[in-house]
Amino acid sequence: MLRADRAHRTGIALIVAAAIAWSTAPFFTRLLHYDSWTILFWRGLSGGGSIALFLIVTQGFAGARSLVAMKANGWLVACLSALGMVSFIPSLQLTSVANVAIIIAFQPFAAAAIAWIWLREAAAPRTLLASLVALVGIAIIVSGAGGASDYRGIGLALLMVLSISTMTVAIRRHRETPMVAAAAISNFLGSLVSIPFAHDIGAVTRNDLVILAMFGLCQVGLGLTFYALGSRLLPSGQASLIATLETPLMPFWVWLAFAEVPQLPALAGGALVMGAVVFDVMADSRAGNASGLRDEASV
């Protein structure tokens, strides 16, 4: 029981770390002035390369072998991850940020639904309630965003949510698969897909290559690695809920680096999202402690 509780807490910490890493995307994007596909290409190379290097350094031959001899389960996760990555940036270009963010907010519900269909894994009522509160918070954050809706952009955003939610459930279903290797492959696949659409691959400066390398290492490499490891240890709905911390954290890095003060809706909505996640984690912790006390009493 203690081992399971420790693994659960580790999973929460890893997903929180993934959300923090993913939330740095606007910071790095602000530093770059290239088309989205060029950024995706170089970011994928640096992200995949950093994860592959980590595997080889920490696991030696076994790590290298996991990259070149990945099983079908790993390829499923890699393809779903790559699909989510390459759908996200174009969706932002084709429709409003408000539309995309609202659709992303449904990810905990999508992951919980897919987990129920695939694994018969029922989400705890408190997680569903917290997901609903987080959805309201994100709706408040993007309430001031404008722009005409475009069906292709909305379709891409839905495709991204579906792919990442299915990836989350697949990671939990196939815990024995080396998912860190799958995260590396997904980055390389994203770079490969970006080549036909990127216009400025050869125009990137040396300084920007350094920024892109940090982008891939910090935002993609660490984010995907932490998420792949943490998703093994948590129910799919809860993992997706905690990952929504990414949304309110995004304005924080922009404010810190560029002194861009978030608007009131962003602050109010961010507080709701943070509160929903903290509520779910604390309620989960109390439930785990109560269960542990009951187990001790029964011995």
Please say whether the beta carbons of 156 and 52 come within 8 A.
no
Average pLDDT, rounded, for the chain: 80
The token pair at 213 is: 């390398």
Contacts of 276 (CB under 8 A, 6+ apart): 130, 131, 133, 134, 137, 241, 244
Question: CA-CA distance, 103 to 250, in Å (whole number)?
Answer: 17
pLDDT tens-digit map of 82-133: 998 888 777 866 766 656 666 776 777 788 888 888 888 777 787 777 777 8
| pLDDT for res 189 | 94
Measuring CA to CA, how many Å separate 230 from each of 19, 59, 169?
A: 11, 19, 12
**Which single residue is written with the structure tokens 């269960």?**
291
**DSSP secondary structure letters along 87-104:** HHHHHHHHS-HHHHHHHH
**Which single residue is written with the structure tokens 């404008």?**
146
**Pick the residue with more confidence: 97 or 245?**
245
SS percent in the chain: helix, strand, coil, step 5: 80, 0, 20
Cα angle for residues 31, 33, 37 (degrees, 5° grid)? 110
Question: CA-CA distance, 121 to 105, in Å (whole number)?
Answer: 20
Share of the chain above pLDDT 70, in %: 84
Task: Give the start-to-end residue ranges of the domains of the chain.
Answer: 2-298
pLDDT tens-digit map of 256-291: 777 766 667 666 776 777 777 777 777 766 665 555
